[in-house]
Amino acid sequence: MRFTTSRLALRTLEPGEKDLLSDFLQRNAEFFRPWEPLRDRAYFNQDIRVPDPDREINLAIVENYLPAPGPIVGTIGISNIVRGPFLSAFLGYKLDKEFQGRGYMTEALETIIPWTFSDLGLHRLEANVMPRNFRSSNLLKGLGFVCEGLSPNYLKIAGRWEDHEHWVLRNLELEKE
């Protein structure tokens, strides 16, 4: 799977590209630490597996320079895809500390979100964000997500149970049917 914008290439990683993912995760370990669960060493050297596209889609973001793309600068995950009457999935994303504030994640998500609604046929995309993560909340708000409420002690992050805001974007076209 591959998507391109004027500045970015978004694509699934192949099993032989483990070092690209490992480099991204290790380069940003300290930066991501306040926003993630505690990680053991194995996490930073994980094998790339080919996920079941009916349940999960993982994309790497690289700068779109030809002839060869650079290192991974971000990731997007669409997970827990639920079919039937729910038609929903969770959205997760990470962006390299050196690439913050350039609009890369906005550009990447503006490319992926319409695809999740049209090609995957989803009705809802959901993202959970700690209230103090203003960058992430502002990103979601700018993309049209609506905060549906607060879930106390929702996820264990950096060793502590943390409240999370529940942000949702609905595919309003499906609601017209």
Model pLDDT, residue 143: 98
- 136 phi and psi angles, rounded to 5 deg: -70, -45
Q: Where are the domains of the chain?
A: 2-126
CA distances 86 to 4, 140, 168, Å, are 29, 21, 13
Which regions of the chain are under pLDDT 70? 47-54, 65-69
Domain range 2-126, CATH class: alpha beta
Model pLDDT, residue 167: 98
3-state secondary structure of 93: strand
Model pLDDT, residue 142: 98
Model pLDDT, residue 54: 67
- 27-38 per-position pLDDT tens digit: 999 999 999 999
Model pLDDT, residue 175: 86
pTM for the full model?
0.90
Model pLDDT, residue 112: 96
Model pLDDT, residue 65: 65
CA distances 80 to 3, 44, 108, 121, Å, are 21, 22, 20, 14
Model pLDDT, residue 97: 96
